[in-house]
Amino acid sequence: MTAAPPPSLPPTPRRIRAEVLIVLGLSLGMSALYAIVNIINRATRDVPLNQQTASINVSRDQREIFDLLYQLLGITAALVPVALVVFLLWQPQRPRLGRLGIDGARSWGDLRDGIGLAALIGVPGLFIYLGGRELGLTVTVIPTDLNAYWWTVPVLLLAALRAGVVEEVIAVGYLFARLRELGWGPWSIILTSALLRGTYHLYQGVGGFVGNVLMGIVFGWLYQRFGRLLPLVIAHTLLDAVIFVGYPWAAAAFPALFGVPASP
């Protein structure tokens, strides 16, 4: 007769901390380190920040088919840490992803709340970005520098979805779940998550950091209050989709605000 496996023990705080460091090291934590080095590099140049540019979605190859393949591979690779988080927090009982604030109980309500939240965050975020540029604290962000192919818009929409899923699942859902297990208080978790969000956006300059910290505080408070992650994912995806797809039009219509600055 085969002996039953021993019951699994709850993870120790030391193991949880190690797991958090590994997950962040594979995803947003490493992005934050790169962003810190990037902003130090930018700040120590002779060119002011508001005369520098940062491109988000760029072409990977001159040949169309390989550019498309590289874009899709990049999106897929970025979602692997999300799969790891889902694996780590998957529950045997329903809702399987309840610890991530995902239960599918009110899909239409989540969609409505996500759209409303995108509208609430979008306008102030634009003013923070423009204000940062005027003060010389923010670089000119070019959301897309892709060549115009038949697949450009679909890939940009996938990139927006990737950003919404990766950032909200890891920086909010996963981090909140694990830090709660470590006994952290609500506002300590909210501020830590928001500071992480701001740090991996530091490549955009001080304005990008401040705007994303504020967004992180709002998103974190809402998640702490209502425990629902999908509205945050939807809002983030919609914001990035509008920015990515609408940038070429905005840069052409308002070059002084959104166009690439002239070289000094």
State how far the Cα of 66 lies from the Cα of 207, in Å rounded to an integer: 35
pTM of the predicted structure, to 2 decimals: 0.93
Least confident of 23-27, 77-81, 216-220, 243-247: 243-247
Least confident of 7-11, 116-120, 133-137, 242-246: 7-11
Q: For residue 9, is pLDDT > 70?
A: no
8 Å CB contact between 93 and 178: no
State how far the Cα of 208 lies from the Cα of 239, in Å rounded to an integer: 14
Taking CA atoms, 218 is separated from 32, 212, 231, 233, in Å, by: 20, 10, 12, 13
Mean pLDDT of the chain: 93
With b for 16 or more beta-carbon neighbours within 10 A and e for fewer, the 92-131 pattern comes to eeeeebbbbbbbeeeeeebeebbeebbeebeeebbebbee
Task: Find the radius of gyration of the CA atoms of the chain.
Answer: 20
Name the band, by pLDDT with cuts 50, 70 and 90, for residue 12: very high
Taking CA atoms, 244 is separated from 82, 153, 179, in Å, by: 22, 9, 33
Residue partners of 40: CB distance under 8 A and separation at least 6: none
Name the range with the highest mean pLDDT among 16-30, 85-99, 136-150. 16-30
Q: Which amino acid is at 215?
A: M
pLDDT for residue 105: 85
Q: How many CB atoms lie within 10 A of CB 148?
A: 7
pLDDT for residue 73: 98
Token code pair at residue 203: 């490549």
pLDDT for residue 262: 56
Q: Give 176-231 pLDDT, tens digit per residue.
A: 999 999 999 999 999 999 999 999 999 999 999 999 999 999 999 999 999 999 99
Domain ranges of the chain: 21-87+120-252
State how far the Cα of 241 lies from the Cα of 148, in Å rounded to an integer: 16
